C-alpha cells in the first residue's frame, strides 16, 4: 500500500503531533486515515476541531484502527501510553520522543516490534521540518521508506545512525527556538534603529529564510557566503566584528551541545 492508503495513528495529540498531522493533511493524507489518542481534553478537542480526525482517549482503539503508530507523548509518559496500547502485532511504531532509545522502545512494545526512532522539529507545521530517522532491529527497508516518506512530506528527512540522534535533537530539534531568538533580536535592532515592529520582524524573518535558502541551494560553506556580503570597510563587517566580540558563534555552538547533552541524559533515564 502507498502511504496515502495506510491508516496512521498518533499516541498523543500535542504540539509536535499536531504539527505532523497538519503536514500530512497538506501532503494529501485523508483525515479519515488519521486517528489520535489523547487524554487531555483541550488537546483532544483541538485536534478534532482543527483537523477533522478521529480522536479518542482509548489508545488501544487507535492501535486497532492503524497500520502505523506515531508515538508522540512526552518521554516520561511513553511506558504508560504503550501499556494501554493493546495488541501491537504487525504494527510499525515510529517514535518522536527525544532521548528515548530504540532499545527502550523495543522492550516496551515487544522484542519483535518494528520500531523506528525519529527526531523532527516544530517546522513541520510549515512543511519545513529537518528530521533524522533511525531504524530499529526489526524494522525493514520498506518500514524505513515509509518513515522517510512521512517525514519528507513535512520537510527534509535523513536516515542516520541512532548514536547521532541526540546530536540531531540538539541541532535541528531544538534549533528552531534558537533561530526564533535570532529573528527577535534582529527585529529589536531594527526597532531601535527606527523601523516599526511589524516591518522589522518581517525583514528579519525573510532575511533568515533567504540566507538559509542560499546555504541549501548553493551548497556553499556559510563562511564563504558571509564573505560575499562583507565589503571592505562596510556595514556588514562592522556588525560581524561585534558578533565576534560578543562570542555569538561560540554561544550558539554551546547551545546545541547543551541540548545534545540533555537529550543524552533523558535517554539514560529510560
Residue 14 assigned ligand-binding role: yes
Looking up residue 74, the CATH number of its domain turns out to be 3.40.50.720
Q: 56-90: per-residue pLDDT in tens?
A: 999 999 999 999 999 999 988 999 998 888 888 88
Q: Are residues 42 and 158 located together in one domain of the fold?
A: yes
Q: Are residues 126 and 217 located together in one domain of the fold?
A: no
Q: Are residues 26 and 86 located together in one domain of the fold?
A: yes
Ordered alpha helix ranges (H), 94-233 = 102-109, 141-152, 165-168, 175-192, 197-218, 222-229
Of the three residues 138, 166, 194, the one that is the final residue of a domain is 166
pLDDT exceeds 70 at position 185? yes
CA 192 to chain centre: 33
pLDDT exceeds 70 at position 186? yes
Of the three residues 166, 187, 213, the one that is the final residue of a domain is 166
Residue 72 assigned ligand-binding role: yes
125 vs 201, residue with greater confidence: 201
Q: Are residues 158 and 186 located together in one domain of the fold?
A: no
Q: Are residues 64 and 146 located together in one domain of the fold?
A: yes
Over pLDDT 70: what percentage of the chain? 99
Residue 173 assigned ligand-binding role: no
CA 241 to chain centre: 33
- What does residue 193 show for φ and ψ, rounded to 5 degrees? -90, 5
Residue 109 assigned ligand-binding role: no
Q: Are residues 91 and 224 located together in one domain of the fold?
A: no
pLDDT at 270: 58
Q: What is the chain's mean pLDDT, rounded?
A: 93
Ordered alpha helix ranges (H), the chain = 15-27, 41-51, 59-65, 78-83, 102-109, 141-152, 165-168, 175-192, 197-218, 222-229, 235-245, 248-268
Q: Provide the 10 A C-beta neighbour count for residue 206.
A: 11
Q: 217-255: per-residue pLDDT in tens?
A: 999 999 999 999 999 999 999 999 999 999 999 999 999
- What does residue 45 show for φ and ψ, rounded to 5 degrees? -65, -40
- Residue 98 is given by DSSP the state T
Residue 11 assigned ligand-binding role: yes
Residue 164 assigned ligand-binding role: no
Residue 256 assigned ligand-binding role: no
Q: Which domain holds residue 53?
A: 3-166
| Number of structural domains found in the chain | 2
Q: Are residues 35 and 118 located together in one domain of the fold?
A: yes
Looking up residue 236, the CATH number of its domain turns out to be 1.10.3730.10
Per-residue pLDDT band for 120 (boundaries 50, 70, 90) equals very high
DSSP H or E stretch at residue 92: strand 92-95
Quote the longest CA-to-CA distance of the chain. Answer: 68
Residue 269 assigned ligand-binding role: no
Q: Are residues 183 and 154 located together in one domain of the fold?
A: no
Over pLDDT 90: what percentage of the chain? 79
Of the three residues 166, 190, 217, the one that is the final residue of a domain is 166
Q: Are residues 107 and 33 located together in one domain of the fold?
A: yes
- Name every residue whose Cβ is closer than 8 Å to that of residue 146 and which is 6 or more positions away in sequence: 3, 6, 68, 92
Burial readout 85-105 (b: 16 or more C-beta within 10 A, e: otherwise): beebeebbbbbbbbbbbbebb
Q: Among 169-173, 210-214, 253-257, whose mean pLDDT is lowest? A: 169-173
The model carries a pTM of: 0.85
Residue 163 assigned ligand-binding role: no
Q: Are residues 143 and 181 located together in one domain of the fold?
A: no
Q: Are residues 148 and 247 located together in one domain of the fold?
A: no
pLDDT at 23: 87
Q: Are residues 60 and 126 located together in one domain of the fold?
A: yes
Amino acid at each position: 500500500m502507498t502511504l496515502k492508503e495506510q491508516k496512521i495513528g498518533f499516541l498523543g495529540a500535542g504540539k509536535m503531533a499536531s504539527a505532523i498531522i497538519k503536514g500530512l493533511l497538506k501532503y494529501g493524507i485523508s483525515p479519515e486515515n488519521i486517528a489520535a489518542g489523547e487524554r487531555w481534553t483541550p488537546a483532544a478537542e483541538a485536534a478534532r476541531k482543527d483537523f477533522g480526525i478521529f480522536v479518542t482517549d482509548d489508545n488501544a482503539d487507535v492501535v486497532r484502527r492503524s497500520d502505523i503508530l506515531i508515538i508522540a507523548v512526552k518521554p516520561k509518559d511513553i511506558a504508560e501510553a504503550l501499556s494501554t496500547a493493546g495488541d501491537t502485532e504487525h504494527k510499525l511504531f515510529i517514535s518522536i520522543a527525544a532521548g528515548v532509545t530504540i532499545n527502550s522502545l523495543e522492550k516496551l512494545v515487544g522484542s519483535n516490534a518494528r520500531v523506528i526512532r525519529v527526531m523532527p522539529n516544530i517546522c513541520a507545521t510549515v512543511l519545513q521540518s529537518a528530521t533524522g530517522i533511525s531504524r530499529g532491529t526489526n524494522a525493514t527497508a520498506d518500514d524505513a521508506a515509509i518513515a522517510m516518506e512521512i517525514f519528507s512530506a513535512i520537510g527534509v528527512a535523513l536516515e542516520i545512525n541512532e548514536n547521532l540522534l541526540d546530536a540531531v535533537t540538539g541541532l535541528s530539534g531544538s534549533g528552531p527556538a534558537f533561530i526564533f531568538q535570532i529573528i527577535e533580536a534582529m527585529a529589536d535592532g531594527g526597532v531601535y534603529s527606527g523601523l516599526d515592529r511589524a516591518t522589522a520582524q518581517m525583514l528579519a524573518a525573510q532575511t533568515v529564510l533567504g540566507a538559509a535558502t542560499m546555504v541549501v541551494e548553493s551548497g556553499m560553506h556559510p563562511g564563504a557566503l558571509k564573505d560575499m556580503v562583507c565589503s571592505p570597510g562596510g556595514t556588514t563587517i562592522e556588525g560581524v566584528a561585534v558578533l565576534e566580540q560578543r562570542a555569538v558563534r561560540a554561544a550558539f555552538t554551546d547551545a546545541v551541545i547543551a541540548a545534545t547533552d540533555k537529550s543524552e541524559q533523558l535517554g539514560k533515564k529510560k
